[in-house]
Every structure is written in C-alpha cells, then in structure tokens.
Structure 1
Amino acid sequence: FVWTFDIWPDAVYAYGFPRIAPLTLFLNHLIRKVYRNSDHILVSSRKFIESIRVYVADRPVTYAPNWLVEETHKVSGVRLDTSRFNFTFAGNISKAQNLENVLLGWAKTRFVIPVALNIIGEGSSLKSLRELVERRSIPNVYFWGRYPSDQVEDILRQSDVLVLPLMADPGIQKTEPFKLQTYLHVGKPIFGIAYGSIQDIVEMNGLGICAAPNHPDEIAAKFQEMVPFAEKCHKEVAERSRMLLLSRFDKEQIISRILSIMSK
C-alpha cells in the first residue's frame, strides 16, 4: 500500500526541483517504480488520481483524506477587535500559502466597514511579508505570530471569515490542505484564494467564495464579496461544514475504508 499526501512530481517541482534531464528522467522513473510495485494506492485528494494514472493505469486507487485531529482547546491570548470584520489566516507562512498575492489583493480593497486581516503563524515568508506591508503601507494587517495548536481554534472562532490560500502551481492546487478540516470544524465562511481541490470543496458545498490565486484585482473584489456572504450565510455554512466533516472527513469512516481494503 502507498498513501499519497503530496503528488509527485508536481509538488517536487513546485518547491524548486529543477526540470532538467537527467533529473526529471530519474524522478519519473522513481515515481513509476513506486506505483507499479504497489498493490493499492490511497490518495488524500481526489485530484491526485489523474496524476497517478499517468504512471500506472491498472492499480486500484482509493480516496482517503485527512481527518480532523481532536484535541483539548484553550483560550488564546489573542483577542480580535470585535468592532471590525475579521478575516483570519492561520498556519505555516511559506511560499506555498501564496500570502504575498493575498496582501496585494487586500491592499486594493475598498471596504465601507472597519476590517482586519489577521495572520497567525510563522514561517520562511514571514519576514518578507512584514516588509511588503510596511513598504506599501498596507492598512489593517495584523501579524500575531505563532500560537500553540490548542489555542488556534479560539482565534478562528473570533473571526468572521477564514482565509485559505494556496500558490497557483498545479501540483499544489491539487492538494486538500490539512487546515481545511480545522476550518470546517470551526464552521466559519471560507475565502478560498485557490482553484483546484479547494475551489471544488468550498464552492460545491456552499462554504464561501473563491478567487484566482494569481490575480490581486480579483482577490480584492472577492474579499469585498465575502462580507455580505458571511453576514447572510454564516448559519448555513456552519451546518454545511458540520455535515461535510461527518460525511467526507470522518476519521472512523476513513479508517474503516482502509481496513476493509487491507482485509481483502
């Protein structure tokens, strides 16, 4: 059995692996060998299946996504300003999260109400993002730093909209990021700055609005559309999120599916 959580070679190229021979030939040979020596392949995203079929057409593939990791939650030291409409991103701050385009889009917004963009976390891109905000004088952006995972839910629950961005690379866009389950558990409207898997899940389940990840003008427009959407649909989104966790991302169902395959 192979359980795929990042789709190769797409993800490898996205993080800088050079697309030159003989490296690409070796990588393709390695991937093909792994899949051809597997009896069954599990995938954490449905969009991985099309990429795997390029390497092997006759192996069974089963969707087995991430599930929510339950933990005891604590009150955070972060208290968001309730007089503002709060957009919040929480997670690793790296190139893959595409936060530079998020900030460029945010800089173009023209809200008629007080707003805030809260960024929770640390990572390799944090310094450059702080410099971008300072250099362009982008207003109402708050970097809160890193907080323990058991405090993040409290921060998300104080928010009005949860921001879920990914870089535009095709391999990255096929993933279903782990933070999605946390966002669903909180049950707040989601602004997906992505296409691919995130767009499918968010839009097909009525959880929010999505924008193209490489178009700051569109990101700005959709930021503004999220305000009336969240005010009108927050109760429906909470219920749809709960049902999606129970039907698609339930730990017991996923493990049972895997064990059933193994037993055969």
Structure 2
Amino acid sequence: MSKKILIVTECFYPEEFKINELALEWKNKGYHVDVLTMVPSYPKSEIFDGYKNKWFQKDNWNDIAIYRVKAVTGYKKSLFKKLLKYFAFMFMGSVISLKIGKKYDYIFGFQVGPLTGMVPAVILKQFYKKPVTLWIQDIWPDSVYAYGFKKTKFLEYFLNCFVKYVYKHASNFAISAKGFEQKIIPYLNDKKEIIYATNWADYLNKNLEKFVLSDDDKIHFTFAGNIGKVQNLDNIILAFGSLEESLLDKTQLNIIGDGSYLEKLKSIVKERKFRNIVFWGRKPREEIYKYLEASDLLIVSLINKEIFSLTVPAKTQTYIAARKPILGIINGEAQNIIKENNLGLVASPNNIQEIKTIFKIAISLDTQDRKAYSENCEFLTNTVFNKETIINNLLELLKRG
C-alpha cells in the first residue's frame, strides 16, 4: 500500500504556487497525496470562478483530494481582513486537520505566507505523533516587523513563543534561502535537520507565438510578479524616470503583474509625467515566457530590510531559466547569487542614484556581455535550481522525519 502524505498550505491549485507541481510529482511517484488548504482567492482576494466559499468542502484535482476551508476575502485592501484570513485558516484548518490527520504517514507544510498557516500541520505531531516537515519560504517573526508592525515587548514575547511552539512540533525543515537557517536555529531546543531547498523556475512554455513589447526598437527592462510595497518598484520607477532624454528614447520599463501597490505606482508615473513606463497588468503564468523572451533585461527587487536580505524571490529562478541578464536591485542572498554567478548587474535598493547608474550600464551592454550572462543562467538552471533534484530532496527529507 502506498504511503499517505498530507500537504498543508494556505494556497493551492488553481492558485499558482510551486506546491502544485510538488504534489503532482509526489503523486506520480506512487504516493497517496491529499491537500488541506483554503477556497482559492489569491491574489485578488476574491473567490475564483467555479468555487463557492463554504465553511468546508472537498474537491479533486488530478486524483489529489483537496480539503478546503472557508477563505476570508477582501484582504487585499484591509489589514484587519488579512489578519482574519490568517487566523481563520489556523483555527478552521486545525479542526479539519485533527479530523482527517490520523490516517497519514507524513505531513508536509508549505509555509509561503504567515507561520499561522502551519499550525494545522504541526498539531498532527503534537496529537498523533506524525512526522512533520516544513518548507520555509518566509521567516517569522522578522517578516511581521518588516511589514510595519511595531516591535513592542508584548508582541515580541507573543511571537517568539508562537514561533517556538511551531518549530518545536516540526520534525525537520527545508529552507528556500540559506540565510533562513541562522534565523531558525535560536528557536530550536534540540537539533533538527535543516536542508537548503530553493524554489525552481516556473514552467516556461517556449512554443508561444513571438511577442513584442513596443513597435519601435527599444531596450526593454521588465519586472514580472506581485506588485506590493516591499517590491521597491517606486524607487525603480524614480530612477528610470530620471534618466536622460537621450537614454529614455531608446528604452522602456515594463511592469507586469498586479498587487496592492499598483495604483500608487501608476499615480507616481502620472504625477511626474514619466514616459516609456508601461503597466501590462496581470498575465497568466503559462504565458509569461513570451514577455520575458521579448525583454532584454529582467528586474528582481525588494526593499532594504534585513529579512528580505535573506530572501530569494521565487521569480529569480524563473528569470534565470529564461536566460536573460538580471538587474538585481536587492541586497543579501539574491544579490550574492547574481554577483557570484555573473548573471547580471546589482544595485542597493534604497540608492536611487545607484539604480539609475546600473540602468545606464545595462543600456550600454554589448552583445558579448549579454551572451555571457545568458550562458551562466543556463548553467545554474541545470544544476543548483534543477526541479527534479529539489523535489526528490524534499521527499527524502519528508521520509526521514
């Protein structure tokens, strides 16, 4: 009889996250895979077409049973609803987890958002002694403070106790960025295995019809992904918009995606009368390659906060797989990957003049430079960021739990 795996994740198909591919791969290897998640609503904070926002429902995707609990909507514009969404999944997910969890051999938590979402996973070790592996994509409590919550003594005490509780009841950990290890260890009372399992690139359909980002011949810089305050796009727009007219004439900044900060960015462009900055809106993930392929350089960026210096945005691997030079307007681990592997150019995220300078350098890159960056991207995709290797490593870690 095949071993049974329960995946606990706030987001799952049809929402677009790596956990979808992971679940399919494990099922195809002969494991019985079920998922505990919410009714899909990310990123628009609206329930997806074809779904009803019930307190509990069960559906099926590619022979994977999906247990869903009610999702709080409207969180895109409301901090209260965002917090309510997190706690709602923690409590409702835990009820369902305790009800169904006894039959599984392994529990796998995909922590792509707040750590509260991992409580329905770790309680299965606490109550049923099940092995629990957490794949950490975001570090608490650091990310709480990074998003603007004031670090009071009470909040710090509460969050530290909560993190210790979750980590205590995890068997082992996979981390998407190497810097996360130093943040996890202080919360552990005993030694637990921690492996580095970065995100792999999104699937890129390279058979799509060719696309052009402008009718005239320009050098195209492109950012693709979630558009929030932490993506630092306001500084990128300010740097690009202040380029000399002669440079602006031959280049274009493309912003592809949607998010809570999009309207603010549009107002900056309008108020300052910046030109050659185009907002394309959100595009289907399966079509994203044609936009990346039509670009000359791809931008990855985050604001200058310590927690984000430990983070490698998932889009980084997708950019690398697209074999395009990268502009890393970011500190820490992501910047190190770009510099150490010679994948492109980097700048400090809070230094607008420095960002402006690398735009100028990038515009003047010759064909040989771009080719070298592209070849280095291809090598990295086939080695460190190899999807099959990462998925196998996660499975072996789960079995060791």
Structures share fold, TM-score greater than 0.5: yes
Higher mean alpha-carbon deviation, 245-254 vs 224-233, is at 224-233
Higher mean alpha-carbon deviation, 50-59 vs 90-99, is at 50-59
1:208–1:229 CA contact under 8 A, matched in 2? no
Match of 2:182 in 1: 50
- Partners in 2 of 1:54 and 1:229 — Cα distance? 45
1:109–1:221 CA contact under 8 A, matched in 2? no
Are residues 54 and 245 of structure 1, via their aligned partners in 2, closer, same or farther at CA, if it must alter by over 3 Å?
same
2:349–2:355 CA contact under 8 A, matched in 1? yes
Match of 2:55 in 1: none
> Are 1:190 and 2:326 counterparts?
yes
| Cα-to-partner distance string for 1:134-174 (whole Å, 9 max, x where unaligned) | 11122221111222112211011111110111111111221
Matches within 5 A, 1:66-77: 66-70=199-203, 72=205, 74-75=208-209
| Cα-to-partner distance string for 1:105-141 (whole Å, 9 max, x where unaligned) | 1123235461111111111111111111111122221
Gaps of 5+ in 2: 1-132
Pick from 62, 79, 96 the counterpart of residue 195 of structure 2: 62
Deviation at 1:261, TM superposition (A): 3.0
Deviation at 1:44, TM superposition (A): 0.6
> Are 1:261 and 2:261 counterparts?
no
- Partners in 1 of 2:280 and 2:177 — Cα distance? 31
- Partners in 2 of 1:28 and 1:109 — Cα distance? 45
Match of 1:105 in 2: 239
**Secondary structure at the residue paired with 2:158?**
helix
Match of 2:347 in 1: 211
1:168–1:214 CA contact under 8 A, matched in 2? yes
Are residues 136 and 246 of structure 1, via their aligned partners in 2, closer, same or farther at CA, if it must alter by over 3 Å?
same
User: Residue 146 of structure 1 aligns to which amino acid in structure 2?
Assistant: R
> Are 1:162 and 2:288 counterparts?
no
2:200–2:318 CA contact under 8 A, matched in 1? no
Match of 2:223 in 1: 89
**Secondary structure at the residue paired with 1:225?**
helix
Are residues 239 and 130 of structure 1, via their aligned partners in 2, closer, same or farther at CA, if it must alter by over 3 Å?
same
**Secondary structure at the residue paired with 2:328?**
strand
- Partners in 2 of 1:230 and 1:6 — Cα distance? 37
Match of 2:48 in 1: none
**Secondary structure at the residue paired with 2:380?**
helix
- Partners in 1 of 2:194 and 2:166 — Cα distance? 14
- Partners in 1 of 2:341 and 2:140 — Cα distance? 28
User: Residue 282 of structure 2 aligns to which amino acid in structure 1?
Assistant: R
Higher mean alpha-carbon deviation, 108-117 vs 1-10, is at 108-117
User: Residue 300 of structure 2 aligns to which amino acid in structure 1?
Assistant: L
| Percentage identity across paired residues of the two chains | 36
Deviation at 1:25, TM superposition (A): 0.6
Q: Please report the RMSD computed on the Cα atoms of aligned residues, expressed in angstroms.
A: 1.9
**Secondary structure at the residue paired with 2:171?**
coil
- Partners in 1 of 2:275 and 2:186 — Cα distance? 46
Larger Rg: 2
**Secondary structure at the residue paired with 2:390?**
helix
Higher mean alpha-carbon deviation, 76-85 vs 21-30, is at 76-85
Pick from 214, 219, 230 the counterpart of residue 80 of structure 1: 214
- Partners in 2 of 1:99 and 1:230 — Cα distance? 26
Deviation at 1:221, TM superposition (A): 0.7
Are residues 168 and 230 of structure 1, via their aligned partners in 2, closer, same or farther at CA, if it must alter by over 3 Å?
farther
Pick from 125, 144, 147 the counterpart of residue 12 of structure 1: 144
1:80–1:155 CA contact under 8 A, matched in 2? no
Higher relative contact order (CA 8 A, sep 6+): 1
Match of 1:37 in 2: 169
**Secondary structure at the residue paired with 1:22?**
helix
Deviation at 1:3, TM superposition (A): 1.3
2:145–2:151 CA contact under 8 A, matched in 1? yes
Deviation at 1:77, TM superposition (A): 6.6
| Cα-to-partner distance string for 1:69-88 (whole Å, 9 max, x where unaligned) | 32646447764345111111
